[in-house]
Amino acid sequence: MGTTDRKEQVRKIRQEDIINAAEKVFFTKGIRNATMDEVAEAAEYSKKTIYTYFTSKEQIYDAIISRAYKILNSLAKEAFEKSHPANGFEKVLLIGQTFLNFENTFPKHFQAMAEYDNRDEDLTSEDQFKMANYTESNKSADLIIQSIREGIEDGSIFKELDPVSTAFVLYGNIIGFINIILKKEKYIMYTYQKDASSLMIEMNRLIERSLKP
């Protein structure tokens, strides 16, 4: 391994160390209340070292969100490989289930991702971490769009639907639904005697009635 390769390896390791530490701090205190001093302490690096790899806590936050989308995309790929969905509609349902599994397994990452979606996006930014974030989030969106297109082609989804518009409507509904489960599950169970499983079944029924011819 050459000197350049070793330096690149060290850079990646330290960036991962900083991101790991920042996750603990941000997920506990929130990005607004967290400080770079706290990130440095958690990472056991000097503040100067932190700024060598990240210019701001917002840049670290972008790296965390990019990681969250990578996890989500990996879970979706794994689900497709295991389940072998027969058509585009089944893929859409499987994506919805993958989002729910992601929230169950990585709740802090899901919450951070959902909150990030509410921010205004700077599409002109050339920041490497923000661009990596957009790349990973686009993969998630493209997976839904492609599944809808396949469904239209194989006849399992209404041919009149626009794949892109439908994908973002579904994405918003799925994220909103899971947010309700995340924040209101106990209230809904106590007041209406409905648990997450029964709500998920009804969500799938609504998707089916909306998409299937």
Q: At a CB cut-off of 8 Å and minimum separation 6, what does 34 contact?
A: 22, 25, 26, 57
- What CATH superfamily is the domain 1-54? Homeodomain-like (1.10.10.60)
CA distances from 148 to 6, 77, 212 (A): 44, 16, 11
Helix 88-105 and helix 163-192: axis angle, to 10°?
50
Predicted confidence at residue 120, as pLDDT, reads: 67
Average pLDDT over residues 192-207: 89
**What is the domain partition of the chain in residue ranges?**
1-54, 57-211
Q: ∠103-122-165 over CA atoms, to 5°?
A: 60
> What is the percentage of the chain residues whose pLDDT exceeds 90?
68
CA distances from 54 to 18, 31, 39, 47, 69 (A): 9, 15, 11, 10, 20
pTM: 0.88
Residue 124 has pLDDT above 70, yes or no: no
Which of residues 205 and 124 earns the better pLDDT score?
205
Average pLDDT over residues 163-167: 97
Q: What is the rounded end-to-end Cα distance, in angstroms, of the chain?
A: 58
pLDDT in tens, 49-88: 999 999 999 999 999 999 999 999 999 999 999 999 999 9
Residue 1 has pLDDT above 60, yes or no: no
Predicted confidence at residue 122, as pLDDT, reads: 67
pLDDT in tens, 133-159: 889 999 999 999 999 999 999 999 999
Predicted confidence at residue 2, as pLDDT, reads: 63
CATH topology of domain 57-211: Tetracycline Repressor; domain 2 (1.10.357)
Predicted confidence at residue 200, as pLDDT, reads: 86
